[in-house]
Amino acid sequence: MDFATLAAQLNAGTIVPEGIVIVTILLVIVGDLIVGRSVSARWTPYLAIGGLLLAVLALYQRWDSTSPISFFGEFNADNLSVVFRGIIALSAAGTILMSIRYVEQSGTSLAEFLTILLTAVLGGMFLAGSDELVSVYVSLETLSISSYLLTGYTKRDPRSNEAALKYLLIGASSSAIFLYGASLLYGLSGGETRLSAISAGIATAGLDQSIGLVIALVFAIAGIAFKIAAVPFHQWTPDVYEGSPTPVVAFLSVGSKAAGFALAIRLLVTAFPLVTEQWQFVMTALAILSMVLGNVVALAQTSMKRLLAYSSIGQAGFIMIGLVIGTDAGYASMVFYLMIYLFMNLGAFTCIILFTLRTGTDQISEYSGLYQKDPLLTLALSICLLSLGGIPPLAGFFGKLYLFWAGWQAGAYPLVLLGLVTSVISIYYYIRVVKMMVVKEPQEMSDSVKNYPAIRWDLQGMRPLQVGLVMTLVATTIAGILSNPLFTLANNSVTQTPMLQAAQKPAVQVSKDETVRLPIAL
């Protein structure tokens, strides 16, 4: 058979965005090979960004597609996956903007960095749409292995090495556990690997109440929880975030996490509908632990990157509230929050990179008095941190509001209350940084700020950094007030995804109280 019919049979049109990313990777590699390192560093990042934006455009065209299922059920390009793939691609684009100068300054090859980053993006994008165990595992591993490489990218720095090693070890063990769980699913369902067919297979085999299914569920959750950095599977996050090069941290905290959440939704809703109560219970426990531990330990941090690591653990806890409640509003609020989180976090990391580039340090105490020397950086970092804390009228407030409102509506009162309390705790450590930057008197300036270099934007790579900074700042500020487009996008992605709708309707009909009662058993 010829290529055209094959492509039509496979419905390969759904992976055109990923195809664009693959082409970009190839171009970057080959281009770098041909022109050499110093020359390629000038145009490869823009090519990569261009490719990513083109992919986003292709995704936009795939919105509301009539035939989302492709590759014999391996890939599902429904609206939910489109949104998540868009988030991952945009996070990578933002990361590239901030990494140009950083990688240059670290003396390593930018093109290779971009290649690995784009591969990670590829893995993440495939993961968001994978509907079958094999493709899930392969995309997950693609994403993870690329992330290990990215983490250890600055080879000369022992901290980066150590971070990479830890990430690899923990990541490998969790993916092994996940794989074991996947194999159990394969066995329990009587030989099915497609997620949609698994639950049917298990039901026909009569094994829906067996311990094997529970073990498979827990093992799968372990793998997912590693990716989204939920407590107690979070231990790698602070060390990896602290040791990795900062642009990598930005990507990990947004893109990798978004991919993890995409996997979580798809896997848990499609493959485990028979044990919905169990997984909701487990995820609730994880959410509570994450919210509490993430926010409380963040209070004691002195390193900015580590602080943001714990904060991202806490934020994952909040997002899990949306996952746990299982209503349309819950999923929509998750998507909405991830979109906003993208801007806030990328903005914060851009500011941190800028500060590190100029002063070489990451300690929070070194930020004091920054307002005197660099008002733009202070403004941007303050806005992003305040948005993370959930202060109106910034975007983060609306994201949290939607999450908590969805939770309250679904009856998850203890979760929402805990979320509110830990939000308050989180505001403390965000504002502490802002206070340090803004309020300190000139004589209380830290040494780094005293010796702050003159602000120059004309070095190579600084312009993209500035562009990224301003764009994320603007987005964070107005995405809350003008949040309607994002809101509708999030809502449509959920309401027009048949998988989620199918999952909800039986739950609603079977026992309305069950969906409402939920983890209130706590």
Beta bridge partner(s), residue 69: 76
Instruction: Specify the stretch interacting with other proteins by CB under 8 A; choose among 157-165, 317-325, 353-361, 368-376.
Output: 157-165
Q: How far is the CB of 516 from other proteins (least distance, A)?
A: 19
Q: Identify which of 89, 168, 178 has the alpha carbon closest to the alpha carbon of residue 134.
A: 178
Distances (CA, A) of 6 to 3, 11, 13, 336, 383: 5, 8, 11, 37, 51
Q: Which of 104, 112, 131, 242 binds other proteins (CB under 8 A)?
A: 242
Q: Which of 155, 435, 450, 512 binds other proteins (CB under 8 A)?
A: 155
Across the chain, how many H-helices and E-strands are there? 24, 2
Q: How many residues does the chain have?
A: 522
* Binding status of residue 243 toward other proteins by CB under 8 A: yes
Instruction: Specify the stretch interacting with other proteins by CB under 8 A; choose among 63-71, 101-109, 168-176, 509-517.
Output: 168-176
Per DSSP, 152 falls in state T
* Binding status of residue 226 toward other proteins by CB under 8 A: yes
* CA 258 – CA 251 distance, rounded (Å): 10
Q: Which of 84, 102, 233, 408 binds other proteins (CB under 8 A)?
A: 233
Q: Tokens 């065209």 label which residue?
A: 61
8 Å CB contact between 366 and 307: no
8 Å CB contact between 358 and 381: no
Q: Which of 165, 379, 474, 502 binds other proteins (CB under 8 A)?
A: 165
Residue number with CB closer to other proteins (90 or 288): 288
Q: Which of 118, 222, 304, 403 binds other proteins (CB under 8 A)?
A: 222
Q: Which of 41, 48, 49, 168 binds other proteins (CB under 8 A)?
A: 168
* CA 56 – CA 34 distance, rounded (Å): 28
Distances (CA, A) of 350 to 135, 236, 253, 344, 347: 33, 22, 13, 10, 5
H or E segment to which residue 69 belongs: strand 69-70
* Binding status of residue 425 toward other proteins by CB under 8 A: yes
* Binding status of residue 377 toward other proteins by CB under 8 A: no
* Binding status of residue 75 toward other proteins by CB under 8 A: no
Instruction: Specify the stretch interacting with other proteins by CB under 8 A; choose among 190-198, 319-327, 385-393, 402-410.
Output: 190-198
* CA 161 – CA 173 distance, rounded (Å): 18
Per DSSP, 439 falls in state T
Q: Tokens 């145009």 label which residue?
A: 43
* Binding status of residue 200 toward other proteins by CB under 8 A: no
* CA 359 – CA 354 distance, rounded (Å): 9
Instruction: Specify the stretch interacting with other proteins by CB under 8 A; choose among 93-101, 118-126, 160-168, 453-461.
Output: 160-168
8 Å CB contact between 403 and 419: yes
Q: How far is the CB of 296 from other proteins (least distance, A)?
A: 5
Q: Tokens 């490998």 label which residue?
A: 172
Per DSSP, 455 falls in state -
* Binding status of residue 190 toward other proteins by CB under 8 A: yes
Residue number with CB closer to other proteins (176 or 439): 176
Q: How far is the CB of 408 from other proteins (least distance, A)?
A: 23
Residue number with CB closer to other proteins (246 or 333): 246
Instruction: Specify the stretch interacting with other proteins by CB under 8 A; choose among 58-66, 260-268, 293-301, 492-500.
Output: 293-301
* Binding status of residue 41 toward other proteins by CB under 8 A: no
* Binding status of residue 229 toward other proteins by CB under 8 A: no
Q: Which of 126, 219, 251, 398 binds other proteins (CB under 8 A)?
A: 219
Per DSSP, 11 falls in state T
Residue number with CB closer to other proteins (145 or 416): 145
Residue number with CB closer to other proteins (152 or 326): 152
Torsions phi, psi for 455 (to 5 deg): -80, 115
Instruction: Specify the stretch interacting with other proteins by CB under 8 A; choose among 10-18, 97-105, 239-247, 364-372.
Output: 239-247
8 Å CB contact between 383 and 347: yes
Beta bridge partner(s), residue 303: 363
Residue number with CB closer to other proteins (187 or 392): 187
* Binding status of residue 264 toward other proteins by CB under 8 A: no
Q: What is the rounded (10 degree) CA torsion for 247, 252, 257, 262? A: 90
- β-strand 75-76 against 69-70: which pairing, if any? antiparallel
Instruction: Specify the stretch interacting with other proteins by CB under 8 A; choose among 15-23, 153-161, 248-256, 257-265.
Output: 153-161
* Binding status of residue 71 toward other proteins by CB under 8 A: no
User: Residues interacting with other proteins, by CB under 8 A?
Assistant: 133-134, 137-138, 141, 145, 148-149, 152, 155-156, 158-159, 161-166, 168-170, 172-174, 176-177, 179-180, 183-184, 186-187, 190-193, 211, 214-215, 217-219, 221-222, 226, 232-233, 235-236, 238-239, 242-243, 278, 281-282, 293, 296-301, 425, 428
